[in-house]
Amino acid sequence: MPLQYINELLGLPELQLHNLLIINAEEVHLEAKPVAYKQPCPVCQSEEGVIRNGHNEPRKIRHLNLLGKRCYIVVPSLRLFCSHCQIDFVWVYEFVSPKQRYSYLFHRQTVEQALGSTAAHSARMQEVPVSTVQRMHQEALPAESERLSKQAWYEAEHTSDLVLGVDDFAIKKGHTYNTGIHNLRGETLLDVLAGRKLEDLRAYARTNPSFLALKPKAVVMDLAQMYHTWISECFPDAIRIADRFHVHGYIIESVQAVRKSVQFTLSPRAKAILKRDHRLLNPPGDRLSEKRKIQLNVLLAFSPLLRKVWEWKEAFSHWYEYSPNVQVATQGFHRWLQQGEHIDHESVQSTLKTMRNWQNEIINYHRCRWTNAIVEGRHNRIKAYQRRHYFTRNRVYYKAGILVECNRHRLSG
């Protein structure tokens, strides 16, 4: 193939190829030189007094693969001299930054791959050392994170009916916690702040005026008092919603607590069956297959108390699904509380107390039907990210990495 066509393939108009140094099954090495003869002096910005003044060792730059082969471009490291300013300088190429061994395009492609999967995968695809990819990835993160965050915040500021989700996630199990601030409708992660104590949250609001400038219609949270206190301070007009799946979790816990007490009183055979099939008690009954329904009925026949608590749980799902408006939901909620009062078990009574304390926030779901389900999915993404990038110990890179990981799919398209 004539070199001029390869020149076009490379897409580097500043270069003129003049020699094919090596070509084999894996690699192609091309020798090139700048099209221009001179570059302006960095001091006086003029080419007038500039002369070429020899060269240093040529540079070998890795570029995008050419026809499936690793491609290296060998360019002279030209020395220039400005007679006006009496200074030496070296030729600056547009396709690669000074002293780098990888072209900008190669760099970008490698980072894109690392963002999409892992540094190890990108290193394999690009045939470069993993440590190099990790370095490129880390260098690219802050800018990429800032770009995506700007976009996410712009959207949140310009959304009518903004609904926020606030939830915590652990960096490591049982270790420090982060609080994530999510735009639920926009499906973006707006920010990650260290901690989940009221003082951490207040400090964040103090130092982030753009957060306080948001106008959320509603905020979804679990039943953590500090989140509700904080959000009512920041957004007194927002509807605070107790997250449906967290609330439901309390009911499931009570069902299982009753199941454990009941199990204790049964014959060995019944006990074994109940233990084996205890998960059948959790999902809504109408979502079970016919076979599972029969198995469930066996369990419920073991104990009237177990049946009662299961029916109470079913009534709660029904209340969530079918309350047509907030008035009906309010009445229905009180009926459901009364139903629970007839269940003689301390776990149920303690859950009822929690439900009564949070009734407004729970019922608020029927003013604005949003849940943090999407946030839970995002936590899995963050966990996977943490496993892949265990090397990211620096807080700045860690946060940037998570923001990129959670937002790139939604915003990069």
CA 92 to chain CA centroid, nearest Å: 38
Q: Which stretch binds Zn ion (CB under 5 A): 56-64, 82-90, 228-236, 287-295?
A: 82-90
Distances (CA, A) of 106 to 71, 97, 101, 125, 329: 10, 12, 10, 12, 58
Tokens read off for 136? 């490129």
Least distance in angstroms from the C-beta of 36 to Zn ion: 17
Question: Which CB sits closer to Zn ion, 60 or 84?
Answer: 84
Q: Considering only residues 3, 64, 74, 85, which one is a binding residue for Zn ion as defined by CB under 5 A?
A: 85
Min CB(33)–Zn ion separation in Å:
23
Q: What DSSP assignment string belongs to 225-288?
A: HHHHHHHHHH-TTSEEEE-HHHHHHHHHHHHHHHHHHHHHHS-HHHHHHHHHTGGGGSS-GGGS
CA distances to 68, 191, 293, 364 from 240, in Å: 56, 19, 36, 7
Q: Which is nearer to Zn ion, 84 or 206 (CB)?
A: 84
**Shortest approach of Zn ion to residue 82 CB, angstroms?**
3
Among 82, 220, 239, 406, binds Zn ion (CB under 5 A): 82
Report the nearest approach of Zn ion to the CB of residue 44 (Å): 3
Binding segment (CB under 5 A) for Zn ion, from list 1-9, 68-76, 84-92, 237-245: 84-92
Out of 18, 60, 84, 276, the only residue in the binding site for Zn ion (CB under 5 A) is 84
Cα dihedral sign, 146-408-380-129: negative
Q: Do residues 157 and 150 lie in contact, with contact meaning Cβ atoms separated by under 8 Å?
A: no
Distances in Å between the alpha carbon of 363 and those of 37, 81, 324, 332, 356? 75, 77, 12, 10, 11
Part of the chain binding Zn ion (CB under 5 A), chosen from 74-82, 198-206, 312-320, 376-384: 74-82
Given the complex with Zn ion, which of 41 and 411 has the nearer CB atom? Answer: 41
Least Å distance, CB 55 to Zn ion, is 19
Min dist. Cβ of residue 37 to Zn ion (A)? 16
The phi, psi pair for 82, rounded to 5°, reads: -105, 120
Tell me whether residue 80 or residue 184 sits nearer to Zn ion (CB atom): 80
Positions in 33-52 near Zn ion (CB under 5 A): 41, 43-44
CB 75, min distance to Zn ion, A: 23
Q: Does 234 bind Zn ion (CB under 5 A)?
A: no
CA angle at 219 for the pair 217 and 224, rounded to the nearest 5°: 155
Residues engaged in binding Zn ion (CB under 5 A): 41, 43-44, 82, 84-85
